[in-house]
Structure formats: structure tokens, C-alpha cells
Amino acid sequence: MDEPTCAYIAGFLDGDGCILVQLKPRQGYRYGYQIKATVSFYQKRQGRHLLEWLQRQIGVGRIRDRKDGVSQYDIEGVAHVLHLLRAISPYLVAKRQQAQKVIKLLEAMQQNPKPSPEEFLRWAGLVESCQALNYSKKRRHTVEEVARFLSNKGVSHPRND
């Protein structure tokens, strides 16, 4: 993407978008949780064509029409979200701090696909610090919940020093 397009997408994200990282319980995952990364853009259904333009520029993701009259464009996955945030973060204003934290987390995840339990727990803490920058009503899954899961499975003995 060229510089003006990156700047436009950053402005769109600052105004009508969301950067989200979540802890999702997943059976079969080594530590019982997935760290899910998503960038979402929102428009009233009449503005869906703007989301379609964004999708053509970014090249990944899906658009859905919600029951509340809003269309939502989601880009999911560590590699896709990281690529997008790296491209547009220099142009972000309102969400710059959050983007930088998410980039740091996703880079660590890419560099270490098989983290130790302690490292995964540290990542879960980074997820919470990123979530604190969103206007979320409640957090479903917390670092304490992940620590309890790991301890109950005998996978980790988190240190408190």
C-alpha cells in the first residue's frame, strides 16, 4: 500500500475501528488458550462500500452485515494483523499506543511459536494491558484465569517474586 492509502486507513481505524487482542479458551491448545488478534472497521450498512474499498486495499479479511444495521470488516490472525499495523502505525493518532503494544506482542508470538508457560503467561498479561485501552464492558478471560489453568494442569508454577 502506498503512503496516502496507509494514512487514510489509519485515520479510518482511529475513528471507526478497533484493535483487539483476546484470550480465547481452546481445547487442544498447549496452554488452554489462544491469543486472538483482530482489527475491525465499522460503518452503517449504507457505507458498506467503504469497507469493501478497505478490503480491496488490504487484501484480506471478511465483511459481515450485523443485525443492528452496521457492517463490520474484520482482519484476523497474527500475521495479517501484524502486517497491517506495521504499515499504518506511523499514521495512527488515537490508537497509536495500543497498536505499538499489539505489534510488540504479535512480534514476540511470531518469533517464539512454542513459548514456555511463563512466556505465555507474560503474553496473557500483555493482552490485558492492550484490552485496558479499549472501551470494553467486561473482560471475559484474564491472566489470572490462564495462571489457574496452567497451575491446575501442572504445566506452570508461576512465580510471584
Residue with cell 452496521: 70
Residue 94: CATH number of its domain: 3.10.28.10
For the chain, how far is it from start to end, CA to CA, in angstroms? 46
- The string of pLDDT tens digits covering residues 86-139 is 999 999 999 999 999 999 999 999 999 899 888 988 898 888 877 777 765 565
How many other C-beta atoms lie within 10 A of the C-beta of residue 126? 19
Does residue 161 lie in a domain region? no
Residue 26 lies in a domain: yes
Residue 14's pLDDT is what? 96
Active site residues: 15-16
Question: Do the beta carbons of residue 40 and residue 17 sit within 8 Å?
Answer: yes
In total, how many domains does the chain have? 1
Residue 158 lies in a domain: no
SS3 category, 69: coil
**How confident is the model over 44-95, as pLDDT tens digits?**
999 999 999 999 999 999 999 999 999 999 999 999 999 999 999 999 999 9
Enumerate residues 6+ apart whose C-beta is below 8 A from 46: none
pTM recorded for the entire structure: 0.84
Give pLDDT, residue 31: 85
Question: Cα 41–4–48 angle (5° rounding)?
Answer: 30
Task: Identify the domain containing residue 36 by its residue range.
Answer: 3-152
Structural domain contains residue 70: yes
